[in-house]
Structures are given as structure tokens and as C-alpha cells.
Amino acid sequence: MAVRAVVFDWGGTLTPWHDIDLVEMWGAYAAAYEPAVDPVPLARRLAEEEAARWRLQQASLGADGTGALDHLFATVGIDVSTPRHGRALAAYLAHWDPHTLADPDALALLAALRGQGIRIGVLSNTMWPRWHHEAVFSRDGLLPLIDAAIYSSELPVAKPHADAFHAVLFALGESPEFTVFVGDRPWDDIHGAQSVGMRAILLPHSRLGDQAVAVAVSPDAVVQRLGEVLRVVEAWNTDGG
């Protein structure tokens, strides 16, 4: 089967993996939200709520999605309509900026795939709003190269649930047998994509730690850097898949 679309995971795939301390990241929010108060207690509560959401997504096999940041804020009693929330959210997202830079191979890879008539999708498990992901992609020049992007912050489910993969296939107007998924997580990405009939390429450099789910998978290909995806797809298209 020819490859007509390639769908990428975001964190650890289009953007290289960074080890992140959630309490430290939420500290940027808390410090801007209540400047006169010790930021650590609020940062801890937000980090704990976020971690609980990720655990629920894992334990439910993605049937319970990630939810969105606004769910976390509601849970800890933050009024998201206030100016101080807006300032704090901006500080939090800016604090993430050094960790969201695109892989150095990403721009050339997406351009080369599109040059071969292949459509580009993104499917990310994320609590962040679409507008922030689009700002990140736009900053790094990737946004015009993406035909369809699905964020779990807008879905009731998350990877590896089949509905998440079907959502991006629907957005691309493509069938799974003509679509390749590229991701860094054996369970969420590789198992999930293969379960709906996609081929899956693993980029195995993320230090998943306690986010790793034990699963026996056989990726259709493994690449050591993102740019190698082009060679794999070209070989499948040359061989007729």
C-alpha cells in the first residue's frame, strides 16, 4: 500500500524529549497568579492534578482523555475569566518555550514529504489548547506544512484509544492502510496506530520513566532520528508498500 499520509505525535517526536519537573513548570503559573504568596503549594496542586489526569488516561487505555488545562484550573478553584489567570497562563506557557522547539529535522522532513504529495497530520495527547500548539508550530515554521491536527484537549478520548486515531484519519480524509504514524511511545503511539491498521514508526529516545506502559509491540520501522522517516516512507512507496 502506498503511503499517502504521515501522522506525527508531537512531544518526543516532532519536538525532542526533555525531562520536565511539573511542579517547577507550574511554579511559573503560581508565581504570576499570586505574586505575594509562596507559589509552591498552588504549583504542587496543579502538578498533582495534571499527573492524576495522565494516570487516568493510562489506566483507562485512553477512554478517559487528557482533558484540557481549564479542567485542571476548575479542579483547584481558579477562575479562568480573570486577568491574573491570563497573565499566569501566559507566564506558564512562556516557561515551556525552551522545551517546545521543533526537532532540527522537522521542517525539512515535512517539506520533503509534502513535496511527494504526502499529507501531514498531527495527533497529540495534550492538555494545551489548540491555539498554543499552533503558535508553537508557527514559531518554528511548521504550521503551513500541517494538513490536519487533532489535540486530545478537544477530544473525550486520548491515544491509544482508536477514536483518537480515527479522528485524525477523518480530518485527513484518509484510510489507515495508506497512513503511517510516527511516535515515541510504544503503547500510546505504536500499539494504538497499529490497532487501527496504520503502519507505525518508532523514534525510541524518550525517557518515559513511570509514563512507560509495558507492551509488546513490533514497530513497522524504528528510526534513530526524525529525518530518517523520509527514507523509510520512500522505501515503502518504492516497494509498493
Residues contributing to the site for Mg ion (CB under 5 A): 9, 11-12, 184
Minimum CB separation of residue 153 from Mg ion in Å reads: 15
Summary count for the chain: helices (H), strands (E)? 9, 6
Among 28, 19, 11, residue whose Cα is nearest residue 133: 11
Minimum CB separation of residue 80 from Mg ion in Å reads: 27
Instruction: Considering the complex, state which of residue 52 and residue 212 has its C-beta at the smaller distance from Mg ion.
Output: 212
Instruction: Considering the complex, state which of residue 11 and residue 62 has its C-beta at the smaller distance from Mg ion.
Output: 11
Rounded Cα distance, 170 and 174, in Å = 6
The SS3 of residue 123 is strand
Residue 131 contacts residue 139 (beta carbons within 8 Å)? no
Minimum CB separation of residue 54 from Mg ion in Å reads: 12
Instruction: Considering the complex, state which of residue 204 and residue 241 has its C-beta at the smaller distance from Mg ion.
Output: 204
Instruction: Considering the complex, state which of residue 39 and residue 179 has its C-beta at the smaller distance from Mg ion.
Output: 179
Instruction: Considering the complex, state which of residue 11 and residue 65 has its C-beta at the smaller distance from Mg ion.
Output: 11
Minimum CB separation of residue 141 from Mg ion in Å reads: 20
> Which grid coordinates are listed for 101?
522547539
Q: How many residues make up the chain in this entry?
A: 241
Cβ-closest position to Mg ion = 12
Minimum CB separation of residue 142 from Mg ion in Å reads: 16
CA 181 from centre of chain: 12
Degrees to nearest 5, angle at CA 190 with 184 and 195: 160
